[in-house]
Amino acid sequence: MPKGLTFLPALAFAALMALPALAEGPGADTVVARVNGQEIRLGHVIIARASLPQQYQQLPPEVLYDAILEQLIQQSALEQAHGDEIPNGVKLSLENERRSLLAAEEIEKIMATAAGEDDLRAAYEAQYGAAYDEREFNASHILVETEEEAQAIKAELDGGADFAALAKEKSTGPSGPNGGELGWFEKGMMVPEFETAVMTLEPGQVSDPVQTQFGWHVVKLNESRQKEAPDFDSVRDDLAGELRQKAVSERVDALVAAAEVERPEVEGLEPTMIHNLDLLRN
C-alpha cells in the first residue's frame, strides 16, 4: 500500500457522487471506526480507495478495506497529534481541493443534460446530413529537391510525357517506384501545401510545382469521390463528447464573463515564484 493516500481527482469524486444511494444497509455516512471520538465513515473509505493508483485498486476488497481503514485510523491519530493549528500549505491545498471538487460537480451537472437523444440526432444531421460534402482523393506525385527540377518535369508533362514513367525515373519519394501513386486519402491526411494543391485540381490535371517540408512536388489528381457519411451509432460517442465539451465551455465562459474578476498588479511578483515552496511556510 502507498504510505499516504492522495486526493481523489475531482472528476472521479463527482462520478462517485452521481451514483444512486443504497436503498438499505450501510451507507456513505455509516461510521466504521472512531479515533478519540473522531468518526471515520464508509464514505471516507470509498473515496480513499477510488484515489489509489490503478494497480492497488485491483487488490481484493477484503484486503483493501482493512488496509485503507487502518491507514485512515493512523492518519486520524496523526492529525489529532498535530493539534488545531493548520499550516498555510495545508489550508491552501484544502481550498484548492474544495474549489476543484465543487467545480467538477457543476461540470457533471452541465454534462448530464448536454447530450440528449434529440441533441445527438440534431448534431448528426448538422454534420452528416444532406449538406455533408466530404471528399476523398486519389493522387500521384513526383518529388524532387529543387524548384528547377520540378519546373523541368512539369514542362515534360505538359509536352506529353507519361506521369508514371517520369515518377519511376525521377521521383525521390518512396512512391516513385510505384509511378508516384499515393492511393486514396482524405482531408487532413497530407501536409497543408500538398492538400491545397490537390483540392484545386480536376481529375487528370497536373499542378504547378508545390513546395513542402519534403521538397518540391508535381502533383496529379487521378480521381476524387464523395466520402460516405458514417452511420449514427459509430459516431454517437464522439458527438456526445463534442456536445458536452461545448456545453461546458459555453457555461464556463458565461460564468467568467458575468463574474467580477480582479487581477491586481502585485509589485515584485514573478512567474518563477510558483516553484518557491518556502513561501507556503510564511
Residue reference for cell 480582479:
262
Which residues, listed in sequence order, are joined to residue 211 by a DSSP beta bridge?
Answer: 216
Question: What's the whole-number mean pLDDT along residues 29-42?
Answer: 96
pLDDT confidence band for 2 (50 / 70 / 90) = very low
Q: Whole-angstrom Cα distance, residue 51 to residue 5? A: 7
Residue with the larger pLDDT of the pair 20 and 147: 147
**183 torsion bin: left (phi>0), alpha (psi -120 to 50), beta (else):** left
3-state secondary structure 109-148: HHHHCCCCHHHHHHHHHHHHCCCCCCEEEEEEEEEECCHH
Instruction: Compute how many other C-beta atoms are within 10 angstroms of the C-beta atom of residue 110.
Output: 15
Q: Is pLDDT at 268 greater than 90 in this prediction?
A: yes
pLDDT confidence band for 199 (50 / 70 / 90) = very high
Q: Is pLDDT at 22 greater than 80 in this prediction?
A: no
CATH 2.40.10.500 fits 135-226, yes or no: no
> Domain coordinates of the chain in residue numbers?
10-89, 117-127+230-258, 135-226
pLDDT confidence band for 130 (50 / 70 / 90) = confident
Q: What is the pLDDT at residue 14?
A: 46
Secondary element (H or E) of residue 210 = strand 210-212
Asked if residue 15 lies in contact with residue 108, where contact means CB atoms within 8 angstroms, the answer is yes
* Percent with pLDDT over 90 in the chain: 79
Q: Mind listing the pLDDT tens digit for each residue in 222-240?
A: 999 988 889 999 999 999 9
Nearest to 140 by CA among 84, 96, 88, 201: 201
Q: Mind listing the pLDDT tens digit for each residue in 49-97?
A: 999 999 898 899 999 999 999 999 999 999 999 998 999 999 999 999 9
Asked if residue 104 lies in contact with residue 14, where contact means CB atoms within 8 angstroms, the answer is yes
DSSP three-state, residue 263: coil
